């Protein structure tokens, strides 16, 4: 890894003309529409009274796989998506121009042969310059380390409480969910091509981690927000494992003031997919 190049890496602002079709496609990629006449689902799928889902902020203004830029000298083949966080400052529009600005905020060097964590931030504004959302992402570069660091490391979240969760919500995924979700801009072939997925060490294509985070957002909207997406203020997840299309995700919540901590578990394999999650929302019930 070339630390100096990474520290001074400059991103051009990305302008995206968001359409109603984009907003609906994002919701379809999270499995909305299984109950096609239910008002709580149609609000994300039908242009009359359409609403956006907060986690869509994570896919807008996508900068592409920038860590594979050769000048950064990152061993990107061994890169893992560690954590993701979004904070909503005002409800996302369902259409209109949005502008994304990106920057590297820090590198946490774990030592020679132990990898580094690259912390990255995106701010999302509307065409008038109003701040819509702040998104932070941590990438664990397993093949790097010993190069030095800068900035402040991301806050370490403690393990979840022990014992029975206060609330549980399950979402069953469809067999085509990975194929639908990738139309939001993440065209990594591991989510579509069985041969590529097997070469990566998996039995078949899996659901993008950001889709799993979107499913967590959906669970919170359904379970705690009376189907009102504007009540979600922020969410953080740590990616632990992958979920395959057709599997069921069980979200286990431990309530606290103003929100909850949670994990996402694959029911069929009893494997934790998302861990040390945190969500803040208005009006806990």
Instruction: List, by residue number, the catalytic residues.
Output: 186, 191
Using a 10 angstrom Cβ sphere, with 0-12 exposed, 13-18 middle and 19 or more buried, the burial of residue 64 is exposed
CA distances from 182 to 37, 83, 154, 208 (A): 25, 19, 28, 8
> Sheet containing 14-18: which strands, arranged edge to edge?
14-18, 96-109, 116-126, 131-141, 79-88, 232-239, 271-281, 259-266, 248-256, 167-172
Query: Measured between alpha carbons, how far is 34 from 22 in angstroms, rounded to an integer?
Result: 19
Query: Measured between alpha carbons, how far is 160 from 155 in angstroms, rounded to an integer?
Result: 15
DSSP category for residue 150: B
For residue 285, the tally of other CB atoms under 10 A from its CB is 9
Cα-flanking dihedrals φ and ψ of residue 3, to 5°?
-60, -40
- Locate 196 and state its tokens: 């590529």
DSSP line for 248-275: EEEEEEEEETTEEEEEEEETTTTEEEEE
Strands 259-266 and 271-281, by their bridges, are antiparallel
């Amino acid at each position: 890894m070339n630390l100096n190049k990474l520290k001074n890496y400059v991103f051009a602002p990305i302008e995206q003309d968001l359409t109603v079709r984009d907003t609906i496609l994002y919701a379809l990629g999270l499995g909305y529409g299984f109950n096609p006449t239910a008002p709580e689902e149609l609000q994300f799928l039908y242009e009359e009274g359409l609403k956006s889902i907060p986690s869509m902020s994570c896919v807008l203004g996508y900068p592409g796989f920038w860590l594979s830029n050769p000048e950064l000298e990152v061993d990107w083949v061994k890169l893992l998506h560690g954590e993701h966080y979004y904070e909503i400052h005002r409800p996302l529009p369902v259409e209109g121009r949005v502008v994304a600005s990106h920057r590297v905020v820090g590198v946490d060097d774990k030592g020679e042969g132990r990898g580094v964590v690259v912390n990255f931030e995106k701010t999302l504004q509307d065409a008038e310059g109003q701040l819509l959302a702040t998104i932070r992402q941590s990438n664990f570069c397993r093949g790097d380390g010993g190069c030095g660091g800068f900035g402040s490391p991301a806050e370490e979240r403690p393990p979840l409480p022990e014992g029975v969760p206060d609330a549980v919500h399950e979402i069953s995924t469809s067999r085509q969910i990975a194929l639908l979700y990738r139309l939001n801009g993440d065209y990594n072939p591991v989510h579509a091509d069985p041969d590529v997925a097997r070469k990566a060490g998996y039995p078949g294509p899996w659901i993008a981690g950001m889709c799993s985070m979107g499913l967590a957002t959906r669970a919170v909207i359904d379970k705690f927000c009376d189907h009102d997406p504007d009540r979600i203020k922020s969410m953080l997840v740590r990616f632990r494992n992958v979920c395959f299309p057709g599997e069921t995700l069980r979200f286990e919540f431990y309530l606290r003031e103003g929100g909850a901590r949670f994990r996402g578990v694959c029911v069929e394999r009893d494997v934790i997919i998302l861990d040390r999650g945190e969500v803040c929302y208005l009006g806990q019930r």
